[in-house]
Homo-oligomer: A and B are copies of this chain.
Amino acid sequence: MTPASSGPATGPRKRGRPARTSASDGPGARDRILAAARNEFAERGYDKTSIRGIAKTAEVDPALVHHYFGTKEQVFEAAIELIFAPAMAAPDAVHGSREGAGERMARFMFGIWENPVSRLPLLAVMRSALTNETASVVLRGMIERRVLLRMADELDVPNPEFRAQLAAGHLIGIAMLRYVIRMEPMASAEVDDIVTMVGPTLQRYLTES
């Protein structure tokens, strides 16, 4: 995926005062701002990240950040859209034959978690959501709209949204023990051994009525 094409915030925002034009306001400015926002939120969390800090990292005027993305909350939304982009293919992993859907979902999610490049920003966003109410609301809305509702559409069971959340909750909890709290033996277990146990559980949640 390319940063410039992902996310809902593709149209420039017009409210507030118009952005000043500067030497840095070139065609790549929006991408630089988004990349800077991703890094700032991932490294500092929601509370400690500022529009000013993002602008400084992107080497643009803070007004340009407002111009493209709006408020801090809206910049956060665009940044986590970028951070969650890999996870958004989860419904596609579930799509297909019912047989093995649970294992496909488990393998897909561990594929993302096992890669530090995708894992670290995801953990940072989870931390932000746990410690800041605004970040929590934004994250919840995005996971609901972009992952769980689409996944529920793939399911042919009663209460598909509840089922999708049982499966997602299970994976999130295992990820917390393994990657955040790093509790042994979970932290050092082979992914295959986890998938062997968790796959049939997800299969039951996603396919058995």
Residues on A lying within 8 angstroms of B by beta carbon are 45, 126-127, 129-131, 136, 139-140, 143-144, 148, 159, 161-163, 165-166, 168-178, 180-186, 189, 193-194, 197-198, 200-201, 204-205
**Contact assessment for A173 and B162 in the assembled complex, using a CB-CB cutoff below 8 Å:** no
Task: Say yes or no: A198 contacts B136, CB within 8 Å.
Answer: no
Minimal beta-carbon separation of A139 from chain B (angstroms) = 7
Known pairs A143-B181, A148-B183, A170-B170; list 10 more (Cβ under 8 Å).
Answer: A130-B176, A140-B182, A162-B189, A165-B183, A166-B186, A168-B177, A169-B178, A172-B173, A173-B173, A173-B175
Q: Which residue of B lies closest to A197 (CB)?
A: B166
A48 to B127, CA, bound (A): 16
Point out the residues of chain B lying under 8 angstroms from A186, CB to CB.
Answer: 162, 165-166, 169
> Closest residue of chain B to A183, judged by CB?
B140
| Nearest CB of chain B from residue A152's CB, rounded to whole Å | 10
Given known A170-B174, A173-B170, A197-B166, contact A181–B127 (CB-CB < 8 A): no
Cβ contacts A to B, 19 pairs, < 8 Å:
A127-B130, A129-B180, A130-B176, A130-B180, A136-B182, A140-B181, A144-B183, A161-B184, A161-B185, A162-B193, A165-B185, A166-B186, A166-B198, A168-B173, A168-B177, A170-B170, A170-B174, A171-B173, A173-B173
